[in-house]
Structures are given as C-alpha cells and as structure tokens.
Amino acid sequence: MNDEIRSALYDKYIKPTEKKKESYVGIEIELPIVNLKKEATSHNVAKEAFKSALDYFGFTPETFDDDGFCHSAIDKDSNDIISFDCSYNNLELSFGKELNLLDVEARFKKYIAHLNHVLGKSNHIITGLGIQPFYDKCKKSYIPNGRYKMLEGYLRKAEEWKKEGGFHSYPGFGTYASSSQIQLDVKKDELVDTVRVFSDLEPIKSLLFANSLMLKDEPDYLLTRDILWEYSTHGINPRNVGIFEIPPRSIDEFIDYISYTSIFCTEREGMYPFFYPIPIAEYFDRETIDAEYFDGEDYSSVTITPQKSDLDYLRTYKFLDLTKRGTIEYRSLCTQPLKYSFAGAAFQLGLANKLGELEEIFDKDTVLYKHGFSANELRRSFNRDSMPDFIDKKELTGLIIDIIELSKEGLVERGYGEERLLEPLYNRAETFDSPARHMRDSLLSGADIIDIIHSYAEL
C-alpha cells in the first residue's frame, strides 16, 4: 500500500478523532412494520403511515425511489431523519446529535405513537423486534433505487460466489432484519483502548440484548443478527464484520487493519457498481475492476478504474466501526422492545465515560476470560443460548451487575438522569432473560405471537 493511500486512510478515520468535542450521541433505530394478520407487510400501508408522519411532524422530503416515492425525510430543526431501511418492511429513525439521551427518547416516543396510531387503522404495527416475525412471508424486494438495488445485487451474489465457511440461505435478510446503533465521539488517545475494551464487552451484550429470533429456521439462536451479516457476502472478508479478534495496539496497527478491510462498491455518474470485495491495500493496484450495477431494469456489467475518491465508499459492518466523523459506531445490538429502546445506548454511553474502570474489570476478570475462550467464541456461544461449562452463572450475574453499576455511575456523572434507562438490565442480568429468550420461551409455552408483538410495541 502506497504512502498516499495510507495518508488518506489516516485523514479519513484518525484525523477527525484529534478534534476536541462535546459528548454528543447519535442514535439510529431500525424497526419492523408488522401485519397483525400474520401476513406480509403491506408496503402501501407502510408508505401511507410514512407520508402521514411527514405531514404531521413537518419533515422535509430528501430522497426518492425510482418510482418517485419519498423514502427519506428530515426535520430541519432537530436533524432527525425518518426513512425506510433497505425495504418498505423496515422503518428507520435516525436522530440528530444530542447531548441528552432522554431528549431523543421523548421524540422517539412521539414519532412511534403517531405512526402506530395510523398503522393500527390497517391492522399493522411497529414493534420492538430484531427480526420481522413474519419474515418468511414478507416481500424480499429492496427499495427501488440505485443504492439499495446495488446492495440487493451484492448480497444475492452469495448464490454464485464462494466463501470460507459458506453462506447462509437468507440473502434478502436486509429486508427484514432490524438493529440499533449509537455513535459516540472518541478521542485519538482513547481509540485503541476503546476498541479493545468494548470488544471484551460483546459477549455480555449478547446476554442482555439478544432479540433476533428466527425460531422456524434457526431454532438454536437467540441472536441471529451476527450470522446474517457474517455468513453473507459482507463476511467474505472477516475483517469487515464482527469482533476485532486481535484489536489493534496502536494507531499504526489500526491503519494496517483498515487497509485490509475490503471495498465492494462505489459510485460512477449515478451508477452504483459492486464487485467481489477487494482489500483496500490491493484495490488501488488494480488497473480495472469488473463490476455490475442496476440499470433500472436489471443488472449489467461495467468495468471501472479505481479512483482515490472510492475511499468514500469503504464501509465495514463491524461491531465497532470507526467513522469519518471521529466517532465509533456501536452496531452489535438488535432492536429492543420499544419501551427499552434506549437501554443499549445508555449502557454503552455510560461505559464509554468509564473506560479506564471497565478496562480494570476485564483485566481482573476470571469469570469470562482467562479460560481459553475469546470474546468472539463466547459471544457465539451465548448467541446460541449456550454457556461453556467453566462459567458459574451466579458469578457471571455478579460481573454483569458490576458493569451495569459502572455504566450507571458514568451516566449519573453526565447529569441528565439517563441512568433510569438501565433499569430493565438488572433483571436480565439476574435471569439471563434477554428479549429473544423471553419470546422463545413464551412461544414454546403456547403464547400467541400477536400478544408478544403487542407487548414489545408498548411505549
């Protein structure tokens, strides 16, 4: 990799972390729109509710699909964005940066209350599940525009390409999987430690927040979110997904790591070409790239020449993603039951303010670590509702509660009252009763899925 590209990677990812900033948060929450008749989501119903919200709250249309329908709009005062994510089965609420999570929660509840009032007239509802409960019946069509059709074409290449470990059989998962992300500012001198320490936290996040159940097709998993990304074309290069197995120990190592993540798409004059993923360190050594793009009707072949501006399209799907804004995007959480939508964001925010103390907890820990299991192996085990034999559940509960308490301290110090958002986590720590486990056990005990959908939709 030449020095010019290495310098460009530094400028994109590291330089923004050198600026002094306030502790803003950015929240994105994806949410399934469910047909209570246990059928496919009606895209017409979803679109009508969306249009009603735009009119009611005064959002300004921003982007349109190829049929002329607005699928993303912004509130100019708050910078909140309401949009559809990948398909018209999923709504996304992206909030303008804020200092106080409770302010964001208040707007979230306001938007959801209106949307569900409108959707309820057509027997639909937005609920807090990480997988659309009727995913097998829903339309798997992506939003008809260049960017989303690019993503659809790229994911469907799993039917042709090869990958170590193989691919799953759900290339349309983007149309029915929902997650929740928080972006937090990170300082350059804390970047490496943040990635390392929060990587160790991932197994605990699985225990507390698993909520992506596919009981029909993946009955062993409480959290299918990970396998959907890792065993798709996104995971051809394992550096593009999941945990940092060996976290970087310096900024130079971080640049090295990024340089061997892969680029798989770019833009050319309104086209969105995609191609077999290529590590960025190798990409600029290619004279040409054979690619495909959606031409409005079908996928056509095109040959492109790498350009330095293609770095703008280098995107990974790691649990901890360093962004060009000088933030880390924490993206390993499933969407939560609506009244607990901000528990995960609060948990991570509080701990980010107690990084040193969290590091000490993991350095001293012998409950999870120092038994030969990596964070990745532990999370995969917990995702399948399985614990290694060496784990003492009572001690594990104590460890998790200590970490929740540390997060609470971090939030109390912020002074906004955000610590109340952590309340549901204490019971989950005592019982390991994540939303997915609760849902699975209820269904296996004879509960009606519609009752669970309503319960997870409560504000």
Residue-wise pLDDT for 231-262, tens only, equals 999 999 999 999 998 899 999 999 999 999 99
Q: Distance between CA 250 and CA 92 in Å, rounded?
A: 35
Q: What residues contact residue 327 under an 8 Å CB cut-off, 6+ apart?
A: 26, 183, 184, 185, 186
Where b means 16+ CB within 10 Å and e means fewer, 117-137 reads ebbeebebbbbbbbbbbbbee
Residue 208 confidence (pLDDT): 98
Instruction: Confirm if 205 and 435 have CB atoms less than 8 A apart.
Output: no
Which among 230, 231, 179 has a CA at the least distance from the CA of 205? 179
Class of domain 3-456: alpha beta
Averaged pLDDT of the chain: 96
Question: Closest Cα to residue 67, out of 160, 148, 169?
Answer: 148
- The pLDDT of residue 435 is 98
CA 371 to chain centroid, in Å, comes to 29
Q: How many CB atoms lie within 10 A of CB 86?
A: 24
End-to-end CA distance of the chain: 51
Q: Give pLDDT, residue 64.
A: 97
What local confidence, expressed as pLDDT, does residue 1 receive?
A: 58
What are phi and psi for residue 284, nearest 5 degrees? -80, 0
Computed from CA positions of residues 405, 25, 260, 289, in that sequence, does the dihedral angle turn out positive or negative? Answer: positive
Question: Distance between CA 201 and CA 197 in Å, rounded?
Answer: 7
Which two structure tokens, joined as six digits, stand for 45?
């119903």
Q: Compute the distance between CA of residue 168 and CA of residue 58 in angstroms, rounded to an integer.
A: 41
On whether the CB atoms of residues 374 and 389 are closer than 8 A, the answer is: no
Which conformational region is residue 165 in: left (phi greater than 0), alpha (psi within -120 to 50 degrees), or beta? left
**DSSP SS3 for 30:** strand
For residue 212, the model assigns a pLDDT of: 98
Q: What is the pLDDT along the chain (459 residues), one digit of tens a residue?
A: 578 889 999 999 999 999 877 778 999 999 999 999 999 999 999 999 999 999 999 999 999 999 999 999 999 999 999 999 999 999 999 999 999 999 999 999 999 999 999 999 999 999 999 999 999 999 999 999 999 999 999 999 999 999 989 999 999 999 999 999 999 999 999 999 999 999 999 999 999 999 999 999 999 999 999 999 999 999 999 999 999 988 999 999 999 999 999 999 999 998 999 999 999 999 999 999 999 999 999 999 999 999 999 999 999 999 999 999 999 999 999 999 999 999 999 999 999 999 999 999 999 999 999 999 999 999 999 999 999 999 999 999 999 999 999 999 999 999 999 999 999 999 999 999 999 999 999 999 999 999 999 999 999
On whether the pTM is more than 0.75, the answer is yes
CB 351 within 8 A of CB 407: yes
Which pairs with CB-CB distance under 8 Å and at least 24 residues apart come from 68-72? 71/143, 71/145
Taking the C-alpha atoms of residue 311 and residue 339, their distance in angstroms, rounded to an integer, is 38
d(CA 438, CA 456): 11
Task: Assess contact for 184 and 352: CB atoms under 8 A.
Answer: yes
Q: Give kind and range of the element (H or E) at residue 56.
A: helix 43-57
Q: How many residues does the chain have?
A: 459
Whether 358 and 406 have beta carbons less than 8 Å apart is answered as yes
